[in-house]
Structures are given as structure tokens and as C-alpha cells.
Amino acid sequence: MCKVGGGYNQLGLGLEAYPRSTRELQQIEELERILLDEKTSDKEDVWKWGPRNNEIISVALLRDEITKSSLEPNDVPWKHWNKWVPPKVNLFIWRAIKGRIAVKVELVKRGVQLENQICSRCNKEEESVNHLLLSCLKSRAVWWNVLIWLKLPVQMNYNSCEDLFDKIEELNGSKVWKNLIKAIFMITFWHIWKFRNDKEFNKKEGLISELVEGIKELSYLWIKERARLKNLVWERWKEFNVRDIIK
């Protein structure tokens, strides 16, 4: 035993300094009482996530637990998580599908007082999630350009954001190709949301052509880096001529 102040360091904790007060000494003694009741081993220490004691902590495990804690009783885990776009975009899309982004209709439901609920981009209909991201005239123009670029049918019928992702599963193509399309769709939603906020808060009216080009550029940078597609080049990406790379 190593004597420390008025007490004893029974476990040999390797203290770098003596306790400076009675309070600190009491804390050391309390720590020792706790540790004496614990079983120790010579195995290397590892971090584990409390709710899942048998699993070593990881980013995927943390994400899974955070998603579960965000679910309501009748919710089910989201099946469209995509590693080719950043977590913030995945989270935004998931919240949009659940109707939990700050569009005007949802803000009013939560008691926020607004002058009106009309979409500031088209000035025709109430700004709900599906209106903003899908059916607003300007959003439809963006989707028309994106679908043309992706060489997909512009007549794709969808009733909601989630329905749009489900429709991808009905298309011909490999799992990797469908993952690519889903990633680009997520980035499209993300850009529409950013342009909406520029209009709402900065009174900045962006051009459809600028928005579409931004989607192409950002999707190229994110997907090339995160999917590690070394053969992906911008000149071919602009024309979406990637079938021999994304198989």
C-alpha cells in the first residue's frame, strides 16, 4: 500500500500528484471502493456502446443507435442510408421523408406563427415537404433536367420523397448503379433545400441552370471521393457516360 495524505492508495493508481484537499482524498477513496468490487483481467481495454454491450463501438453502430433513438413508436429504420453522400445529407433526407424539416406547413403545425404558408418560390401552393422538394414548378424543372442528364424517364410517377427512392428499385440496373442514382437524388434534394433557404432568408433567386450544374459538380466530387471511383472523370460525368464504370 502506498500512503497518500491521510489515507492509503491500496490499488496503486499511479497518482501523479498528492490530493490537495480532503475532498480530493475522499474522491480517491470512493474510487478505490468502487474498483475493489470490480473484476479485472489482463485483456486489452476496448470501448463498447452501452445499449449493445457485446459489440465494439464503431461509427456504424453509433449511427444505428442514433437513428433508433430518433424513431417514433410506429417508425421503422430507414433503408436508404447511402455512404456515397455525407451523413448530414442522409439525415436531411430521412427527416424530409418523416416530414421533419422546417418547411412552412410543418412550422405552423409546431406553433410557429408565419404570415402565410405559401411557397416563396412559386407563390401558388402551401409549402409542404413534398411540394417543396418534388411538385413545386421550379423543383419539377430541376428534376426534369436531372432525369434527362441521368438518361431516366422524365415521366417517372411518384407521390412522395420516399416513393421516389422506391421507384429506383424498379429500374433496370445493378445494385451499385441504383446506389449511384439514389446518391444523386439525395444531392438533388439537398440542393433544392439550399436554394429554397437562399430565397427565403437571403432573398436570392437562383437560376435553375445554376442549381442543376451545382448538382452535377457536387455529386461528381462527393461520389468520386467517397465511392473511390478512380476512373471517374468530369468530361464523361457531365454526359453521365459511366455505364462501364458503374456496373
- In a shared domain, residues 103 and 24: no
Query: For position 230, what pLDDT does the model report?
Result: 79
| CA distance to 88, 217, 238, 247, per residue, from 148 (Å) | 27, 16, 12, 20
Q: Which domain holds residue 8?
A: 2-28
Query: For position 8, what pLDDT does the model report?
Result: 46
pLDDT digit string, tens, across residues 215-228: 999 999 999 999 88
Q: Do the domain assignments include residue 50?
A: no
Which amino acid is it at 91? L
- In a shared domain, residues 91 and 15: no
- In a shared domain, residues 15 and 110: no
Q: Do the domain assignments include residue 69?
A: no
Query: For position 23, what pLDDT does the model report?
Result: 81
What is the sign of the dihedral through the CA atoms of 175, 69, 160 and 117?
Answer: negative
Q: Do the domain assignments include residue 131?
A: yes
- In a shared domain, residues 22 and 92: no
For strands 48-49 and 2-4, give the pairing.
unpaired
Query: For position 2, what pLDDT does the model report?
Result: 45
Q: Do the domain assignments include residue 43?
A: no
Query: For position 3, what pLDDT does the model report?
Result: 45
- Alpha-carbon distance of 178 to 26, in angstroms, equals 61
Q: Do the domain assignments include residue 223?
A: yes
β-pair partners for 3: 8
φ, ψ dihedrals at 37, nearest 5°:
-90, -5
- In a shared domain, residues 137 and 232: yes
User: Under a CB-based contact definition with an 8 Å cutoff, are residues 161 and 65 in contact?
Assistant: no
pLDDT digit string, tens, across residues 94-137: 999 988 899 999 999 988 899 999 999 999 999 999 999 999 99
Q: Do the domain assignments include residue 16?
A: yes
For strands 48-49 and 7-9, give the pairing.
unpaired
CB atoms within 10 A of CB 118: 14
- In a shared domain, residues 91 and 16: no
- In a shared domain, residues 125 and 19: no
- In a shared domain, residues 93 and 9: no
Q: What domain count does the chain have?
A: 2
What angle do the packed helices 87-97 and 161-168 form, to 10 degrees?
A: 120
Query: For position 6, what pLDDT does the model report?
Result: 45
Task: Give the 3-state secondary structure percentages of the chain, helix then strand then coil, rounded to 5.
Answer: 50, 5, 45
**Per the structure block, which three cell numbers stand in for 137?**
414548378
Nearest to 237 by CA among 144, 143, 150: 150
Distance of CA 225 to the CA centre of its chain: 17
User: Under a CB-based contact definition with an 8 Å cutoff, are residues 65 and 49 in contact?
Assistant: yes
Residues (pLDDT < 50) of the chain are: 1-8
DSSP string across 188-237: HHHHHHHHHHHHHHH-----HHHHHHHHHHHHHHHHHHHTT-TT--HHHH
